[in-house]
Amino acid sequence: MKKILFRVVYQAVFGCLFIFSAFLIPIIKGFSRRIRDGLKNYLGFLPVLFSGNTVWFHSVSLGESLVSFSVAETLKERFPELILTFTSTHPDCLKLAKKKNFFSASAYLPLDFFPFLTKALNNWKPRLVLISETDFWPEFIWQCKHRGIPVFLINGRISTKHEKAFSSFRSLGENVFDSFQLLMVQRDEDRKRLINMGASPSKIVISGNIKADIKIKIDNTVLDEMKRWVGNSKIMVIGSLHPMELEILFQSLIRLIQNYGLKIIIAPREIKNAEIWYRKFSENGIMCVLRTSLSDDRAGQVMILNTVGELASIYSLADFAFIGGTLSREVGGHNPFEILYFGKPLMMGPFSRNFNDLAVSLQDLGACLTVSNSEEFEKNVCRLISDDSFAQKIGLAGKSVFSANRGAMQKTLEEISKII
């Protein structure tokens, strides 16, 4: 009875918010790419699939999508008869999904409202839903359980924000997580948080982090173009950087370029910042180039990536790398597995709650350099530039930590195969 009451109240609130927002849609469409491109999907109009053999993947961020893509590709190889579909709330993730030949359809996730999800589920009729890492929409999950559709959480990563929100409304958490058939999480810390949020311990499995098992496909066309730009210079790659982090590091980056001839490739966490950062460097006397404007010459000391899906390959060129989000307590870091995969010396800030267990292992084995401010950042970059043996030692230690974290993909596929 309590579950029904929660659902009624939740849908009533959601319905009222939608009705109010509907009047703004004609205005918002002109400014929002997501509304303009995804309105039909939000209302439940997904491509009709005439199959009862569909597995529905859902991810939010690019990192989570890479997990879904990797699992989907491996699953398709093992079970070619499956129809795989993908949803996200991010346009860049959908852009990448459309390039994957193993997805029969991709779309924006419908709004978490009963009539829209009813239509969407009728159109795709999934036999299994796989949610990557962390995105819990109560009505979506409840409807799946009501229809007898198993819902799995794969590579689960439970943030402190999720824990605080669901533990404050524990009955809601119990109702939501009771609707999952299985919750596969990366760490014991994630398991404890899920239990605090209302999940049953019997439904939780610690599987490890699938990102350690993702095979990075090298795009040689991209790398050849990059190599011409790098020339004989030392190269630092900075991945998933946030605006406030660029502000912290900006003057240090300028000095490193001027004093050492260092070349730097920066991947903004949000591509929309690429043009802004390009202008910022240019206005401060640093020759800068956007990735999409790169030609065969070697002009520029800084390259800003304004493309999606190339960063992993580009890490292979780095002499050393810095992972963004780690200078922000609020963000809590982004996963550095792609850097470790290539055995590149890793630098990061002090905030790593999103991969805390991994960060502890890296620090214990001397497999990373942790910096708290621009002065420490600059000092450590200078040492990496001047001491190749020091850099190599850190890179090799990171590679060993990476190897020790592998195996999550196999565990995940074993659980999925039980349903398939």
| Max intra-chain CA distance, the chain | 69
Whether the per-residue pLDDT at 30 is higher than 60: the answer is no
Whole-number Å distance between alpha carbons of 127 and 85: 11
Both structure tokens of 360: 């502890």
The string over 156-190, giving b where at least 16 C-beta atoms fall within 10 Å of a residue's C-beta and e elsewhere, is bbbeeebbeebeeeeebbbbbbebbbbbbbbbebb
**What pLDDT does residue 221 have?**
83
Class for domain 220-404, per CATH?
alpha beta
pLDDT over 70 percentage in the chain: 95
Residue 113, burial from CB neighbour count under 10 angstroms (0-12, 13-18, 19+): buried
- Collect all residues with Cβ–Cβ distance below 8 Å to 231 and sequence separation of at least 6: 263, 298
Q: How far apart are CA 61 and CA 327, in angstroms?
A: 20
8 Å CB contact between 325 and 333: yes
For residue 32, pLDDT beyond 90: no
From CA 325, how far away is CA 268, in angstroms rounded? 10
320 contacts 381 by C-beta, under 8 angstroms: yes
In angstroms, rounded to a whole number, what is the distance separating the alpha carbons of residues 415 and 408? 11
* Residue count of the chain: 420
Q: What is the pLDDT of residues 190-247, one digit of tens each?
A: 999 999 999 999 999 999 999 999 888 888 888 888 888 998 899 999 999 999 999 9
Question: What are the residues whose beta carbons fall under 8 Å from the beta carbon of 198, sequence distance 6 or more?
Answer: 166, 167, 170, 171, 172, 173, 174, 175, 176, 177, 178
- Of the candidates 270, 252, 260, the one whose C-alpha atom is nearest the C-alpha of residue 235 is 260
Give the separation between CA 186 and CA 224, rounded to whole angstroms.
Answer: 35
pLDDT in tens, 349-369: 999 988 888 898 899 999 999
CATH class name, domain 50-209+408-419: alpha beta
Domain limits, the chain: 50-209+408-419, 220-404
pLDDT per position as a tens digit, 326-352: 999 999 999 899 999 999 999 999 999
Cross-strand bridge partners of residue 128:
55
Query: Residue 299 in contact with residue 311, Cβ under 8 Å?
Result: no
Given this model, what pLDDT does residue 23 score? 58
Residue 17: pLDDT over 80: no
Q: What tens digit of pLDDT does each residue of 279-333 get?
A: 999 999 999 999 998 865 567 899 999 998 899 999 999 999 999 999 999 999 9
Averaged pLDDT score across all residues of the chain: 90
- Predicted local confidence at residue 135, as pLDDT: 87
The tokens describing 349, both together, are 């800030």
* pLDDT value at 87 more than 70: yes
- Establish whether domains 50-209+408-419 and 220-404 are of one fold: yes
Q: Is 236:322 a contact under the CB 8 Å cutoff?
A: yes
* Gap between the Cα atoms of 318 and 216, Å rounded: 15
**Cα end-to-end span (Å), the chain:** 32
DSSP string across 219-231:
-HHHHHHHHHHHT
For residues 222 and 294, give the distance between their C-alpha atoms in angstroms, rounded to a whole number.
Answer: 11
Find the angle CA(411)-CA(415)-CA(420) to the nearest 5 degrees: 135
Question: pLDDT band at residue 161, thresholds of 50, 70 and 90?
Answer: confident
Which pLDDT tens digit goes with each residue over 220-234?
Answer: 888 888 888 998 899
pTM over 0.85: no
| pLDDT for res 139 | 92
pLDDT at 353: 87
Looking at residue 27, its pLDDT comes to 54
Q: Is the pLDDT of residue 267 over 80?
A: yes
Q: What is the pLDDT of residue 5?
A: 73
